Structure 1
Amino acid sequence: MRLKNSLLLLLTATIWGVAFVAQSAGMDYVGPFTFNCARCLIGALVLVPLIVAMDRGKRRQKEVPAENKKVLILGGICCGLALFLASNFQQFGIQYTTVGKAGFITACYIVIVPLLGLFFGKKCSPLIWGAVVMAVVGLYMLCMTGGSGGINRGDLLMLVCAVLFSVHILVIDYFSPMADGVKLSCIQFLVAGVLSGLFGLLFEEPKLSQLLAAWVPVLYAGVMSCGVAYTLQIVGQKGMNPTVASLILSLESSIAVLAGWFLLGQQLNAKEITGCVIMFGAIVLAQVPVGSKRENTVAEN
């Protein structure tokens, strides 16, 4: 189960890594709030047929588990609010800083998650803390290449984004064991999409022609990044240590660079390749069982 969840989170990171291209392209046509509104609402719509099919399948098999609708709705609202704030800070921040610095600062949630987790009784082993340090070093070597400059407004916005994505991971960690992952994901997209739409109407001038012009990046971000990836995150995080989950998800930065290498012909230098290797090493280290967990793993095998 742990390996399966880790693979689901790795697939999530892969989809998000490629989605950086879609997010960047979409900003050429529409504003941040409008872009996030469209992608989140599409993500919610994509999941509706899946939810209907799953419910019908459970009824046919006479497997209809008791469901706490209050917890489901509350969890969806909390996850949606965190997603709305984090995703929009990211969209605004990336306009004022370099892509490398944006990737590094955003992925700093791998440090923020365990720090915030301490306040909620989430303890981490020395191996996981070591993996966090390795991941930070790897991200720095991967993203902070040349001409990084000083801290600017975009960097501060991305730092807030990293904190908010950390909160989003911890909120999912709290609610995912108590609610259906697909339904929770659908509600969070609906909340984030509606809130983004309201702010878009207040502070932007959304036009249908602009959305149609950006249909390719919006569709990818909506169907894959939202509908598929965020749902995989919720399902994959069930029973996972949130710090380990954040380490796996942080691979989106490495995957984004690798995607640029394979798909766009962007070459990696020795420093960037070393950063990728260190990042993958951190993920492997985080998966090593410790103490009683090691004994349980051996017993299971």
Structure 2
Amino acid sequence: MSRSPEGARVFWGGVSLVLIALVWATTFGIVRSTVSGYAFPPFAFLFWRFLLASVFGTAYYFPALKGITPRTAWAGFVCGGFLFVGFAGQTLGLMTIPAARSAFLTGLFVLMVPYLAWLTLDRPLETHIVLAAGMAAVGLFFITNPGTDSLSRGDLYTLLCALGFAGQIVALEEAGRLADYRQLFIVQLVTVLVLSGAVMLWREGFHVPSVNFVWMTIAFTALFATVLAYAVQTWAQQIVPAAETALLLALEPVFALFVSAFVYREFFTHLQATGASLILAAILVVSLVGVPAASSRSASES
């Protein structure tokens, strides 16, 4: 049975979103291998990743950068600051916690978005959001360290990452009304590049990768997980309904779990698997029912 042209476009748009979720899922393991296994400094990794992403992103969107205003630059800088917090927290967290755990904790940004919108934009909190937050809190307890009295440092860094990504989404929703999304995208990339470079020089010194695997990780995360993923997601979300988009992108932590298990031999305990299921269910509740502010993760965040 053949599909109509419009049905075919929606189908391939959905396939593209699934592939994006898979690409993002693979980044947790390879970034962890880079900063933990190969002990490459985290902010040096971010510097090189966003240097490459900024160069190729600017080349791709160069015609749209003409006439960028100070207002757009400032909005992009604010959004980029939140994005930097997200990536810094995620990368620091991956030094000590497994990739799949990082993926599920990062996914909590979906639940943080409506709360930040409530605090900063006076958006209403709906009942399903509060219930989803309760589910996620129980899931967080199960997936981290239920036998201890506190979260690990890696867990805390990753929760900070989720908060940074949530802040970026709320800020970007407001900034998006004022400026071209392509200009905002490039300013955000450059902001993360500059902030990563500054912290690298302050805390780590200047580092150039000397291992091929590190360079391959930098290239993959910069080109495929950032620039290409953003371009494809922008196209796909024009033709795929928002609810389906949220559902397909929510596959990211599920894919990360399978990648961690089959490639890195990192497994959840039964209790952690229960926690992961609760977190995923909470993410789906918020994503599919709807939130007061956009909850879809932009590819610039991965």
TM norm. shorter chain > 0.5 = yes
Indicate the SS of the match to 2:154: helix
Counterpart code for 1:22: I
2:30 aligned partner, one-letter code: A
Aligned to 1:37: 47
Q: After TM superposition, list the pairs within 5 Å mapping 1:31-180 onto structure 2.
A: 31-52=41-62, 69-99=69-99, 101-119=101-119, 120-133=121-134, 143-144=143-144, 150-180=150-180
In 2, are the aligned partners of 1:18 and 1:256 still within 8 Å (CA)? yes
- Deviation of 1:102 after TM superposition, in Å, equals 3.6
How many pairs are equivalent?
275
- Per-residue CA deviations over 1:234-283 (Å, capped at 9, x if unaligned) read 78889xxx9x9988756432221133356567777877389559836852
Q: 1:160 to 1:289 in 2, by over 3 A?
A: closer
Asked whether the 8 Å contact 2:52–2:219 carries over to 1, the reply is: yes
Deviations 1:143-194 (A, max 9, x none): 4599788423333323322222221121122222432223321221111112
Aligned to 2:294: none
Other-structure match for 1:287? 288
Gaps of 5+ in 1: 57-63, 291-301
Check conservation: 1:15, 1:225, Cα contact below 8 A: yes
| Mapped partners of 2:196, 2:223: distance in 1 | 17
SS at match of 1:210: coil
* Closer, same or farther: CA 274–40 of 1 in aligned 2, 3 Å: same
Maintained 8 Å contact 2:86/2:162:
yes
- 1:169 partner letter: I
Task: Please give the alpha-carbon distance, in whole angstroms, between the structure 2 residues aligned to 1:139 and 1:267.
Answer: 16
CA distance in structure 1 between the aligned counterparts of 2:255 and 2:264, rounded to whole angstroms = 13
Q: What is the TM-score with the length of structure 1 in the denominator?
A: 0.70
| Distance change (3 Å), C-alpha of 1:102 and 1:275 | closer
Q: Name structure 2 gaps, 5 residues minimum.
A: 1-9, 292-302
State the one-letter code of the partner of 1:88: A
Q: Return closer, same or farther for 1:274/1:112 CA change in 2, 3 Å cut-off.
A: closer
CA deviations over 1:193-223 (Å, ceiling 9, x no partner): 1221122122213333536551111111111
What one-letter code is carried by the residue in structure 2 that aligns with 1:287? L
- State the SS of the aligned residue for 1:122: coil
Are the structure 2 counterparts of residues 77 and 85 from structure 1 closer, same or farther at C-alpha, using a change threshold of 3 Å?
A: same
Q: Hey, what's the Cα distance between the residues in 2 that align with 1:235 and 1:154? A: 35
Q: What's the offset of the Cα at 1:10? A: 5.9
Coordinate RMSD, CA, aligned:
4.4
- SS for the counterpart of 1:179 is coil
Q: Which shifted more, 219-228 or 120-129?
A: 120-129
Q: CA deviation at 1:55?
A: 5.0
